[in-house]
Chains A and B, each alone.
Chain A
């Protein structure tokens, strides 16, 4: 069977040229750069047999690292909800003075290379850093423990929440709020009954994106985390440790769990958004 016989390679429902060429090149490129590398993750852990795979998944240090990553990412994403909401509100509705500069600064954590964020946050919140010494006055230490991990993940996750909520706030019809106000609603009633419902999906999207980014984050966390096994060791770092011990199946088992959780959380957001899109469609 020649390639052209495959349904794939027939016209493609368009009169435009270049279909076969661009599809072939795209398939070759994604085949080599996405499918081939990711298939190793699915196959490699099983090479030693199912017993070895289960043994690798039962490692207590790995479970501790996964728990650290998931819990810290969830706490950081949750803390980013009020902060992100505040900034999104200020940008979309608050006529914030200097909003153009503020808008550019919000994306800073995404633009800053992770290694740079890592050493900077570690120094900034370290015992002698500008903010670390300030916190030390209150007896709070955020470096070399889980609080440091949460802080670093909050920094990198913030833009996801702001950028998810801001457009929704901007497009929200303001006359509903004015009507509620005229009818005597208190500000908190307006917020809970009129604003909260439409921005909830956006907040959940922002939370999910920040969480998915957080569980995989490496560079901005390892410098501030202290990296003590069972205490402040994140899962991506344990992959690196396992590789240094030449324990490839162990490293792959952790990678597979991380990949599955990240894809699952993104799929959940997708499903949730589709469901909400059905609700909010005009009747």
Chain B
């Protein structure tokens, strides 16, 4: 009896609280039909926002993946003074408000910032320009690869690597041929989480972007702009596209499991 109450209450809660939002995004986007909805995406400002988001995410994911692997390697395989402090530092962006994550870059590179006026003299623009957006995105997505890779590397131990070193392998060979194949799944998961966060980052980017349509507007910022301008269909179409991209990145993390299950069925 209690069990059925729990079932009904749980699904009711999930339907009302968690299923209605994505359902609403789709209905609002398709209110005037699929053609009208897709037409809003061909707007030049919308196109520019999509490209900017893809470019910024590509840079952030690449750099933070390389850094994440190196940081996980040094934190897991070695013991040194200050190791725990370094680990806390690396995870810090997760507990900082997105707005604050944007603000710090203005304090460094804005017109009133530490280095802003100096760079301005050399005609280098970071705040309210694309480099600022990239810096803010790099900051908020920094912890994801390290955090997902570290526990798996920890379990992996050092035996295989030490054997490779004895056999004459160098650092890059050990990393590429021994360590990384063992943490493949976790690495993929970390990269996909970084991607999802980079695509959807709003608060941090909003502070440093300057909101110039067609130039420094990413997809989330363009959604805000459209929504506040009462262009509901365009706003929700862009929202549907962005949600689809971010959510498929999150869901793809289970792809290795699906492939393994398919192969099991075939065998």
Assess the B224–A26 pair: CB atoms within 8 A. Answer: no
Q: Residue on B with the closest CB to A95?
A: B3
Alpha-carbon gap, A112 to B21, bound state (A): 10
Assess the A105–B92 pair: CB atoms within 8 A. Answer: no
Assess the B70–A239 pair: CB atoms within 8 A. Answer: no
Alpha-carbon gap, A96 to B2, bound state (A): 12
User: What's the minimum C-beta distance from B161 to chain A, rounded to whole angstroms?
Assistant: 5
Instruction: Provide the main secondary structure of the chain B interface.
Output: helix
In the complex, whether A108 has a CB less than 8 A from a CB of chain B is: yes
Alpha-carbon gap, A87 to B235, bound state (A): 32
In the complex, whether B52 has a CB less than 8 A from a CB of chain A is: no
In the complex, whether A283 has a CB less than 8 A from a CB of chain B is: no
On chain A, the residues within 8 Å of B135 by CB distance are: 33
In the complex, whether B267 has a CB less than 8 A from a CB of chain A is: no
Assess the B96–A216 pair: CB atoms within 8 A. Answer: yes
Assess the B96–A262 pair: CB atoms within 8 A. Answer: yes
Known: A105-B18, A219-B202. A7 touches B71 (CB 8 A): no
Assess the B138–A33 pair: CB atoms within 8 A. Answer: yes
Instruction: Provide the main secondary structure of the chain A interface.
Output: helix
Assess the A155–B2 pair: CB atoms within 8 A. Answer: no
Q: Residue on A with the closest CB to B107?
A: A40
In the complex, whether B243 has a CB less than 8 A from a CB of chain A is: yes
User: What's the minimum C-beta distance from B253 to chain A, rounded to whole angstroms?
Assistant: 10
- Flag B1-18 by CB within 8 Å of A: 1 or 0 each: 011001101110110111
> Which of A155, A187, A237 meets B17, CB within 8 Å?
A155
Assess the A19–B89 pair: CB atoms within 8 A. Answer: no
In the complex, whether A25 has a CB less than 8 A from a CB of chain B is: yes
> Which of A23, A112, A124 meets B246, CB within 8 Å?
A112
Q: Residue on B with the closest CB to A236?
A: B99
Alpha-carbon gap, A32 to B233, bound state (A): 41
User: What's the minimum C-beta distance from B191 to chain A, rounded to whole angstroms?
Assistant: 15
Assess the B165–A243 pair: CB atoms within 8 A. Answer: no
Q: Residue on B with the closest CB to A187?
A: B2
Assess the B239–A30 pair: CB atoms within 8 A. Answer: no
Which residues of chain B in 205-250 are interfacial with respect to chain A, using CB atoms and an 8 Å cutoff?
A: 206-207, 220-221, 223-224, 227, 232, 235-236, 239, 242-243, 246-247, 250
Q: Give the interface of B toward A (CB within 8 A).
A: 2-3, 6-7, 9-11, 13-14, 16-22, 24-25, 28, 67, 70-71, 73-75, 77-82, 86, 89-90, 92-93, 95-100, 103-108, 110, 112-114, 135, 138-139, 142, 158, 161-162, 165, 170-172, 174-175, 196, 199-203, 206-207, 220-221, 223-224, 227, 232, 235-236, 239, 242-243, 246-247, 250-251
The 8 A-B pairs with the shortest beta carbon distances in the complex, nearest first, are: A113-B200, A216-B97, A18-B171, A12-B78, A37-B104, A218-B203, A115-B220, A219-B202
Beyond A26-B71, A108-B247, 20 extra complex contacts between A and B, CB < 8 Å:
A18-B172, A22-B70, A22-B73, A23-B80, A34-B142, A90-B6, A94-B6, A96-B7, A104-B251, A105-B14, A112-B22, A123-B24, A216-B98, A218-B97, A218-B98, A236-B99, A236-B100, A240-B206, A248-B112, A259-B96
Q: Give the interface of A toward B (CB within 8 A).
A: 7-8, 12-19, 21-23, 25-27, 29-30, 33-38, 40-41, 44, 83, 86-87, 89-90, 94-98, 102, 104-121, 123-124, 129-131, 155, 158, 187, 212, 215-219, 223, 236-237, 239-240, 243, 246, 248, 251-252, 255, 258-259, 262-263, 266
